Amino acid sequence: MKHKFQVIEEQEITLANAVGAYLDCEHYVFLHGGIMPEMFAEKLEGRRITYRQGLRWGFLRSAHIFTTEYFPPGHFRTFDLKSSPKWMPSLHHVVKMVIDVRYTKHPERDTTLMQFDVELDMPFWLWPFRRILQGIMERMHYKKDQEDIEMIQRRAKIFGPHNISSYLAEGQFLLFKDDYVRHFGASARHSTDSPATSAARLL
Amino acid sequence: MHTLDLVMRQDQDYFPIPIEIASLLPDQLNHRRVSEGVEVVVFSEDNDRYFIARDICPHMGAPLAQARLCRKTGTLQCRWHGYIYDSGTGEMKENPNDKLFTKIKTAFQSYNPLSTPKYRIKRLSYEAAEGKIFVRRGAANET
Ligand code: FES
Ligand SMILES: [Fe+2]
């Protein structure tokens, strides 16, 4: 039985920053350590990356493997979630999840529309718990987004809202950086300062 | 140096709000405002010396006030990307993501580990007198 839900939210950050933050995988386990204390990238195939991720659900800990595919410029699909190791009891044995996160520019303002779509394919005996599952997923997603937005807005305050030079900097690792540069590089033409340089100037 | 001397020089050389030494919690990062819109992190080292820096990570600007200070390893770890800095020199020591993403980092042609900038948290110089720390303005200086 399929349960679908959607969250759409306007975020007070630019599209280039929202997508850049998603591709900036170096922050995942540090900024979001409360919900994903461990994460290893296992495999890259085209625009698909397979991760092994440790999770915390209150006092409980579990791990799972999943794949995220990037559809430039701002769409990420997560699917094929499995427990790790395979014999470990997990919801993933009985519920199939497909999670789509889409970032688009707000049609009127310089903000970002974040669209979170989830499809849960579950057995009938789990159906009565679908809203609980939905609530947990929405809360986790919201918490993660808030952590990102807090940092991005702070950086925007210091270096300017359109300054994405830290993502474009040669030494900065970004997933699918070539795609990112192709789609968002032009928006940074007027802000070529590196944050490190600007920070130094602030001192 | 006497406080009065410092007060006289404060406008040009020092940020206007001194840090009360007695208010600093030991063995942890203290977050203080030293002027309108200027915040610093400070912790006491041995021998009445203080590590003071702007509350801005040189990587992408995260608040260093949220960093993790480890006295045992002598490191500061930023909350955003987990970069580890030497809490004495401020030099970046390690990017722990190199281990977490080894398998795929090298798979991207755009990745060039040799081009990573040498990030460094710049220590601010100061004068301590009569229970107060006066943080120097201007370019970061070594203490
Ligand atoms: S902002 Fe501090 S490590 Fe990235
Ligand atoms: Fe994030």
Low-confidence ranges of chain A (pLDDT < 70): 56-58, 60-61, 188-203
Model confidence at B96: pLDDT above 80: yes
The single residue listed with the structure tokens 């009445």 is: B48
Give the ipTM. 0.88
Atom number, ligand 1, closest to the C-alpha of residue A27: 4
Q: Quick one: pLDDT at residue A200?
A: 46
Q: Quick one: pLDDT at residue B143?
A: 39
Q: Quick one: pLDDT at residue A192?
A: 46
**pLDDT per residue over A1-21, tens digit each?**
999 999 999 999 999 999 999
Q: Quick one: pLDDT at residue B3?
A: 59
User: What is the fold of B4-135?
Assistant: Rieske Iron-sulfur Protein (2.102.10)
Q: Quick one: pLDDT at residue B133?
A: 96
Domain boundaries of chain B, sorted by first residue: 4-135
Domain boundaries of chain A, sorted by first residue: 2-202
Q: Quick one: pLDDT at residue B31?
A: 98
Model confidence at B2: pLDDT above 80: no
* Mean pLDDT, range B64-80, rounded to an integer: 97
- Whether B68 is in the pocket of ligand 1, judged by its Cβ within 6 Å, is no
Q: Quick one: pLDDT at residue B1?
A: 55
CB atoms within 10 A of CB B15: 21
* Closest residue in A to B78 (Cα–Cα): A30
Strands B84-86 and B92-94: antiparallel
A→B contacts (Cβ < 8 Å), by residue, are 24-27, 29-31, 39-44, 49, 151, 154-155, 158-159, 166, 169-178, 194-196, 199-200, 202-203
Cα(A71)–Cα(A18) distance, integer angstroms: 14
Cα(B142)–Cα(A144) distance, integer angstroms: 37
CATH class as words, domain A2-202:
alpha beta
Instruction: Please give the interface size between A and B, counted as residue pairs whose CB atoms are below 8 Å apart.
Output: 99
Atom number, ligand 1, closest to the C-alpha of residue A151: 1
Are the Cβ atoms of A44 and B112 closer than 8 angstroms?
A: no
Mean pLDDT value across chain A: 90
- Whether B81 is in the pocket of ligand 1, judged by its Cβ within 6 Å, is yes
Q: What is the pTM for the complete model shown?
A: 0.89
SS3 A193: coil
Ligand 1 pocket test target in B54, B56, B59, B92 with most atoms within 8 Å of CB: B59
Q: Quick one: which of B61, B62, B68 has its CA closest to B43?
A: B68
Q: Quick one: pLDDT at residue B9?
A: 57
